[in-house]
Structure 1
Amino acid sequence: MIRLATEADIARLVTMRWDFTIEGDPAKGEASFLEFEEECTTFLKDALTNNRWFIWVAEKEGRIVSHTYTELVHKVPRPGRVTHPFLFMTNVYTSPEVRNEGIGSQLLQSIHQWIKDNQFEFAIVWPSDEAVPFYKRNGYQRCAEPLEFLSGKANE
């Protein structure tokens, strides 16, 4: 079952976000889970009500096993055309015990249909090197790299 997350899902989403981060960088497991839980819970409560973030979940046997966070980005209008928002996708994660069962691809297919139904212009994601084949199998392609300015805070 694929659906949008609700407030009842917050505890599971917090745990999955922690697991996702620790899986990619075990040293981050030394951080305080309680501090993270408080910050992440606050973020999720706001995200689930602000109509900017849409958190998609996939359930198997009544348990959330995969999720994707999508943020709707509104563009500045342009003369001569209707301006549609685009989607920034992040924090795509599937629990290790159900990987390679097609759940992540089903989740993306649902999001792709939602993008088409709502006439969003495009979706972007910055995948890890390991995730590139997954996205390519699901219709994503490389595009010109954006420019970025790093404030120095990102590496602290």
Structure 2
Amino acid sequence: MENIGIRPARHAELAAVAGLRWEWLVENGSEDLGEPDDFVRHFVAWAEENARTHHCTVAVRDDRVIGMAWLAVVQRVPTPRAPRRASGDLQCVYVVPEARDGGLGGRLLRAVLDEARELGLERVTVHSSSRAVPAYARSGFAQSPRLLQARITRG
């Protein structure tokens, strides 16, 4: 894995990151996605609008973005002992198929968790596919009997 860097995404790379998100959706069976160019424009605008709370880390090989991981930072209700609290949610981890199984996903996860530590986050959660659970476990994620979720249906 020579010539691969792991670092925060640059503004000029957001269109490439949008392309990775598109690839992930297609790879996972999404249909009727619309036009890729429309999605890229929307995605880049969204990333710019949410840059304070959504941090993108990329894997780059020879100036080509080949992987991404997003850290969504959520401010938490303060306590007397911790007036500034936050947690994170790991989102949209993706590595292009030809670069998988070489540890690149683990490098992305380590970079995001390092950033979470630097930001002083209390915890980082992730909603994983069953295929990716072992990779997250290797990076220190564990199941929690107290972390629950409710699915919100539209209608």
TM-score (norm. length: structure 2)? 0.87
Match of 2:122 in 1: 121
Alignment of 1:21-40 (within 5 A): 21-25=25-29, 27-28=30-31, 31-40=34-43
TM-score (norm. length: structure 1)? 0.86
| SS of corresponding position for 1:132 | helix
Q: Is the contact made by 1:55 and 1:70 (CA closer than 8 Å) also made in structure 2? A: yes
Match of 2:58 in 1: 57
Write the letter of the residue equivalent to 1:14: A
* Residue ranges of structure 2 left out of the alignment (5+ in a row): none
| SS of corresponding position for 1:85 | strand
Q: Is the contact made by 2:9 and 2:56 (CA closer than 8 Å) also made in structure 1? A: yes
1:77-124, CA deviations, whole angstroms, 9 ceiling, x for partnerless residues?
A: 023344421111110000101001111111111222222223210100
Q: Which has the higher helix share?
A: 1
Alignment of 1:101-112 (within 5 A): 101-112=102-113
Give the length in aligned residue pairs: 150
Write the letter of the residue equivalent to 2:117: K
Supply the distance in 1 between the matched residues of 2:8 and 2:33 (Cα, whole angstroms).
31
* Residue ranges of structure 1 left out of the alignment (5+ in a row): none
Greater RCO, 1 or 2 (C-alpha within 8 Å, sep 6+):
2
